[in-house]
Amino acid sequence: MLAAREHWGSRFGFIMATAGSAIGLGNIWRFPYMAGENGGSAFILIYLAVVVTFGISLVMAEMVLGRVTQRNPVGAFRALGGRGWALAGGLGVLTGFVILSFYVVVAGWTLAYIVFMAGNQLPTADPAVLGRHFSGFVGRTFSPLFAATIFMGLTAWIVAGGVGKGIERASKVLMPLLFVLLLVLVARSVTLPGADPGLAFLLTPDFSRVTIDTIISATAQAFFSLSIGMGVMITYGSYLPRNVNIPRSTLIIVLLDVGVAVLAALMVLPAVFAVGLDPSAGPGLTFITLPAVFASMPFGNLFGTLFFALLAIAALTSAVSILEPMIAWAVDEHGIGRGAATLAASLVCLLLAIPASLSFGPLSDTTLAGKTFFDWMDFLANNVMLPLGGLLVASFVGWRWAKPACTHLTNDGTLRLPWLTAWIWLLRVGAPVAIVALVWQAVSTP
Ligand code: TRP
């Protein structure tokens, strides 16, 4: 017999935890620079279209799998599809190790930047100097790893506390704090003198910059941002009591995720335009361009510190959700204690984080096909493993388990959902086509 499974204490707690998973570095670090590189609001509109079709469909599919089986990804697939399908869950657990190992590296940088900002160590508005500071810091051997270790420790501490006393409790405090910080920073950014061109860039779609690559990047961004494809939503869904309205909760979570991404773009891009910097600076936008923006505004250190705190909080609740499926798997399937499982999984991730972090310094020349260790982890996870995981969920629910899925999604017929058939066909055909296009593009462009 299994011990009784722990459940979320409240719907609010569940929504904060799940929104906490979705809202992460993907929204605040990646989304603004992707929008900046890809024609502003044209990219945002395409991203929104993907989110409301495939994104929502896949989140609901994962959640219903978890709630019905009350199991981790491996156990959920095994219970419904047998041993072959359990491998799909296994892929998810494996993907979690890969993602977390590089996620903690970038998250560690955000912790370091809180310290740099608060300690007034970046008092220049010259992007060239800030660029050298950034590459100098991430290229060091020990300090970035030390920061990643602290971040991993915080993540493990929350997860070891359990579903209710750890994850839910932390999310109920951290997420509202995140929303407040975000609103303060957006208000600051859009009222800067010279912010208008940035707002215009965000509000007038430039479809001439849209190519097939833009569409595919928007798709990848939507999947990553909604935490689809490695069983996070299966695991979080497995802590749901049976009577929750999954479609309604999904809608709230997705709206929060999209809202934060768009607000993050509204926070970053007008400020970048206001000081005359380049919005298409790529991944360095957050760590190089933004400190320049802060240096040129009154109380910049304060706003800069708040900004990196916001980023660290967003990353923390996401990292928690990447760790949890592995722990649920170890606990459910192997009877390992929660604390021991958390410690072991965290140590494995930290070990893998070493080469990921050193990819920016001592190992920057150790490449395979032009990619460093970090690049490979990022590429494999985002462009191969996560899409494949999403494909397996979509095919399983769409083709093998469609009838029960509809029964469970409607809570045995008590919810009226006029779009059920559309949902199933999006899972059967729409999502797989989008995913295959995404993987194809990723592996065929060098
Ligand atoms: N969605 C998070 C972000 O935007 C990252 C994340 C958390 C994630 N859990 C995930 C991505 C699971 C893929 C799969 O940063």
Q: Tens of pLDDT along 323-362?
A: 999 999 999 999 999 999 999 999 999 999 999 999 999 9
- Of 27, 28, 232, best ligand 1 pocket probe by most atoms within 8 Å of the beta carbon: 232
Which of ligand 1's atoms lies nearest the C-alpha of 257?
4
Judge whether 160 and 239 are in contact, CB under 8 Å. Answer: no
**Alpha-carbon span 84 to 160, nearest angstrom:** 30
Confidence of residue 209 (pLDDT cuts 50, 70, 90): confident
pLDDT tens column, 145-158? 999 999 999 999 99
The mean pLDDT value for 223-245 works out to: 95
Ligand 1 pocket, 318 CB below 6 A? yes
Structure tokens given for 369: 């096909």
Q: What is the pLDDT of residue 1?
A: 43
Query: For the chain, how big is the Rg over CA atoms in Å?
Result: 21
pLDDT tens column, 23-73? 999 999 999 988 888 878 889 999 999 999 999 999 999 999 999 999 999
Mean pLDDT lowest for which of 36-50, 250-264, 385-399? Answer: 36-50
Of all residues in the chain, what percent carry a pLDDT higher than 90? 78
Confidence of residue 203 (pLDDT cuts 50, 70, 90): confident
In terms of Cβ atoms closer than 10 Å to its own Cβ (0-12, 13-18, 19+), residue 406 is: middle
Q: How far is the CA of 296 from the centre of ligand 1 (A)?
A: 32
Question: How far does Cα 326 stand from its chain's mean position?
Answer: 17
Ligand 1 pocket, 25 CB below 6 A? yes
Closest CA to 277 of 143, 119, 130: 130
Ligand 1 pocket, 36 CB below 6 A? no
Q: What is the pLDDT of residue 3?
A: 60
**pLDDT greater than 90 at residue 139:** yes
- Of 62, 63, 99, best ligand 1 pocket probe by most atoms within 8 Å of the beta carbon: 99
Which of ligand 1's atoms lies nearest the C-alpha of 321?
9
**pLDDT greater than 90 at residue 232:** yes
Ligand 1 pocket, 321 CB below 6 A? yes
pLDDT tens column, 20-31? 999 999 999 999
Judge whether 22 and 255 are in contact, CB under 8 Å. Answer: no
